[in-house]
Amino acid sequence: MPDSITTREQAAQADATDPLARLRDRFDIPDVTYLDGNSLGAMPSHVPAKVADAMTRQWGNDLITSWNTNGWWELPSRVGDRIGALVGAAPGQVLCGDSTSIQLFQVLTALARLRPERHTLITDGANFPTDQYLADSVARMLGLTVVRVSPDQVGTVLGPDTALVAFSAVDYRTGERWDAAKITADVHGAGALMSWDLCHAVGAMPFDLDGLEADAAVGCSYKYLNGGPGAPAWIYVPRRHHDVIDLPLTGWQGHADPFELEQHYRPAGGIERARIGTPPVLAMVALDAALDVFDDVTPADIRAKSLRLTQLVIDYADAHLPDVTVQTPRQPERRGSQVSLAMPHAYEVTQALIARDVIGDFRAPDMLRLGFAAPYLGFAQVWDAMETVRDVITTEAWRDPAFARGSAAVT
Amino acid sequence: MPDSITTREQAAQADATDPLARLRDRFDIPDVTYLDGNSLGAMPSHVPAKVADAMTRQWGNDLITSWNTNGWWELPSRVGDRIGALVGAAPGQVLCGDSTSIQLFQVLTALARLRPERHTLITDGANFPTDQYLADSVARMLGLTVVRVSPDQVGTVLGPDTALVAFSAVDYRTGERWDAAKITADVHGAGALMSWDLCHAVGAMPFDLDGLEADAAVGCSYKYLNGGPGAPAWIYVPRRHHDVIDLPLTGWQGHADPFELEQHYRPAGGIERARIGTPPVLAMVALDAALDVFDDVTPADIRAKSLRLTQLVIDYADAHLPDVTVQTPRQPERRGSQVSLAMPHAYEVTQALIARDVIGDFRAPDMLRLGFAAPYLGFAQVWDAMETVRDVITTEAWRDPAFARGSAAVT
């Protein structure tokens, strides 16, 4: 582990030797400390020009021919491969499109269909709500029973009736990171299939989907991938399942021969069968451009800096914030790229921080959630933000009525 | 009916008195005659600036706060209402988002659930493939039987087991427009529910969803609404079904209290329950801007010009194209906003026309499909395009090997 950072001088020193510091200039960020990249990543500076080109030249001038001449048709698989490279998926196994909720419906249904003789779907009762809601919906349609358990307790509920298990790699509230290798192996040991939701992992840390032999995965692209608000999600299906995976959202673009316009669905070969309807071209062009940032950095490099940033925050809280409880695990390997701090009046504190240009978010009932996007954050900057947290708490600045409840944040 | 147009002089005269001619300047279109707006509408000139603002100011500068301060959260219902106004839906009944395929899955499943004692789903065997594929997929999941019939023959198959009927308002190949009022009434007379796919109607003609008492509708926004490539689709559910409609894609944004992040899904009131995951903000901003074109024109005005344009084409084909068969109905009320011309070597003719800056599309096996977007087309322009069609056919210019098969168009 790198040296811990317990003074501002050490933080400044860490910046001076930070190999990722060069990435900061690739983003347009206002004069704030943005600790909400786990909700909506910041904008890479070159994205607007790429989208403007997609509008004015490709749509405006080239019109319908752009599907061929400007590569629109290939966007879902091409962008999918770029995302796949960040989560340990060899090319041809990730397709970009739609929302995480839609991709969850695809994955949960399709995996259950691969185990028709089993009737239990396991999810995490602390999983992000959409993961739980879609699990319940799929279970209802297919006649399955949903069992909720914390990922580290999955061994207590796995059994011969378990068809599939669907967890998130990182708990969206606490920032706890699960032991994906052990869990996947345990699930496979029970003869069941494993799907991972990587919304809070992709772009923030390595993940080894192929190596784990995960059976499916989904993720968004508007958090640590910085793809823009509502950027399209993605789905991973490993090659070994391609010939048998039976996806329920049988849109025309996933057909084996979409321009023959046949009456009956025949799925395309490979990951192309995960296409549904017409993809959101402008949004996918924005995401494609945003991914350029990752051409010059590895997930391992990002992870190393992220861990050092979150360690700084945990150490600071332990030393200087007596009324605050760190909810995120202290062991690096069990930590995502965020730190969740439980405290009295967390909602008001979050608002007071935003007023002081430290942007985090609140999670009910009592949590300030801070996300750390290594490509555009600095150590001294984060140190100063923590000083602001201390100041807001010790001066009780959060008591200003302007910071009382009344608005809402978005995950 | 207005006077028919059988000479170029009459076409120029029609332009001189065209009340929609002023709309042409609101689009950026290259120097071509674009007759493929039924696949991808042209770009309104002001869209790029609106999207640039959504990127640079809203995303880049305001970051996560934009969900509240820049109205991102309200986009799906606000844009939905604007679309609703064009298809006869009072506010609060249309939600914008996802793709037509996804919305079809929502609608077909939800309507079938409203008639659980019935087990037949009727669609059109000539419906656009994605409509048929999703009907088959939903039927499989819910244990229904799919019956395919032409909309004008629906009376021959309606019965006590019919749960729902899902047709398109306009046949995407032939351009035939169905009698939506009679069909909806017949379906209701059999105790079944009716869903309309308005992809080839919205933005091109009036439709009266509320007046017809349709039970649901879907549509895209990248054709006659000019929302951009892959622009988000929309769903209509009439108010009378809001308390009971049971949609399968239970994403977190459709929850009654999405920020409470509960374990179990409770659908929101009103059309908000049709929200699924995080909406594609940039794409929806583009669409929102594109809809401004419709602030100054009524669907009835668009329809009147559209009918006159298509009549011109039909009359021209009858008079000057002996080897061409008009596949689109000649009665105005049975015609959509396109003309489909069957002819020998239609693929090659389509390519030769594109090379001469007349952009239509080919539909297997033998059809040149021409779409007419009244806001940006002129009568003399269309006349000249038909002269080009005649020239390509009579000179056999399509025999150039450059126009042989090998590429593909997109609906």
Residues A364-404 pLDDT 10s: 889 999 999 999 999 999 999 999 999 999 999 999 999 99
The model's confidence at residue A408, banded by pLDDT at 50, 70 and 90, is: very low
Q: How far is CA A406 from the centre of its chain?
A: 27
Pick the CATH number of A8-45+297-393 from 3.40.50.2020, 3.90.1150.10, 2.102.10.10, 1.20.120.140: 3.90.1150.10
Return d(Cα A319, Cα A313) in angstroms, integer: 10
Q: How confident is the model over A167-196, as a mean pLDDT? A: 98
Return d(Cα B277, Cα A129) in angstroms, integer: 11
Q: In this complex, is the C-beta atom of B40 within 8 Å of any C-beta atom belonging to chain A?
A: yes
Q: In this complex, is the C-beta atom of A159 within 8 Å of any C-beta atom belonging to chain B?
A: no
Average pLDDT taken over every residue of chain A: 96
CATH 1.10.760.10 fits A49-295, yes or no: no
ipTM of the complex: 0.96
Q: In this complex, is the C-beta atom of A32 within 8 Å of any C-beta atom belonging to chain B?
A: yes
Q: How far is B405 from chain A (nearest CA, A)?
A: 13
pLDDT given for residue A411 in this prediction = 40
**Which of chain B's residues have a Cβ under 8 Å away from the Cβ of A286?**
55, 282
Q: Tell me: pLDDT of A409 over 70.
A: no
Q: Name every residue whose Cβ is closer than 8 Å to that of residue A223 and which is 6 or more positions away in sequence.
A: A37, A38, A39, A40, A41, A199, A200, A202, A203, A204, A371
CA angle B89/B92/B97 to nearest 5° reads 90
pLDDT given for residue A23 in this prediction = 97
Residues B226-273 pLDDT 10s: 999 999 999 999 999 999 999 999 999 999 999 988 999 999 999 999
The boundaries of every CATH 3.90.1150.10 domain in chain B are: 8-45+298-394
**Which of chain B's residues have a Cβ under 8 Å away from the Cβ of A249?**
101-102, 105, 134, 137
Return d(Cα A151, Cα A171) in angstroms, integer: 10
CB contact under 8 A, B137 and A248: yes
Fold of B8-45+298-394: Aspartate Aminotransferase, domain 1 (3.90.1150)
Average pLDDT taken over every residue of chain B: 96
Q: How confident is the model over B317-337, as a mean pLDDT? A: 97
Q: Which residues numbered 134-153 in A keep a CB inside 8 Å of some CB on B?
A: 134, 136-137, 141-142, 148
In order, the DSSP letters of B211-226 are HHT-SEEEE-SSSTT-
pLDDT given for residue B203 in this prediction = 98
Q: How confident is the model over B166-182, as a mean pLDDT? A: 97
CB contact under 8 A, A130 and B251: yes
Strand, helix or coil at B85? coil
What whole-number percentage of chain B has pLDDT above 70? 98
Residues of A taking part in catalysis? 128, 197, 222-223, 369
Return d(Cα B328, Cα B340) in angstroms, integer: 6
Residues A312, A379 contacting (CB under 8 angstroms) = yes
Tell which of A31, A59, A362 to mutate to test the B interface (max B CBs under 10 Å): A59
Residues B275-318 pLDDT 10s: 999 999 999 999 999 999 999 899 999 999 999 999 999 999 99
pLDDT given for residue A2 in this prediction = 59
For helices B379-394 and B8-16, the axis angle rounded to 10 degrees is: 160
The model's confidence at residue A405, banded by pLDDT at 50, 70 and 90, is: confident
Q: In this complex, is the C-beta atom of B163 within 8 Å of any C-beta atom belonging to chain A?
A: no
Type of residue at B171: D
pLDDT given for residue B410 in this prediction = 40
Residues B118-141 pLDDT 10s: 999 999 999 999 999 999 999 999
Strand, helix or coil at A193? strand
A84-113 per-residue burial string, b: 16 or more CB within 10 A, e: under 16: bbbbbbeebbbbbbbbbbbbbbbbbbbbbb
CB contact under 8 A, B278 and A222: yes
Q: How far is B160 from chain A (nearest CA, A)?
A: 24
**Which of chain A's residues have a Cβ under 8 Å away from the Cβ of B284?**
230
Return d(Cα B84, Cα B102) in angstroms, integer: 18
Total number of residues shown for chain A:
411
Q: Tell me: pLDDT of B3 over 90.
A: no
Q: Tell me: pLDDT of B379 over 60.
A: yes
CB contact under 8 A, B68 and A407: yes
Q: How confident is the model over A297-311, as a mean pLDDT? A: 98
Tell me how crowded residue B108 is: count the other CB atoms within 10 A of its CB.
29
The boundaries of every CATH 3.40.640.10 domain in chain A are: 49-295
Residues B306, B372 contacting (CB under 8 angstroms) = yes
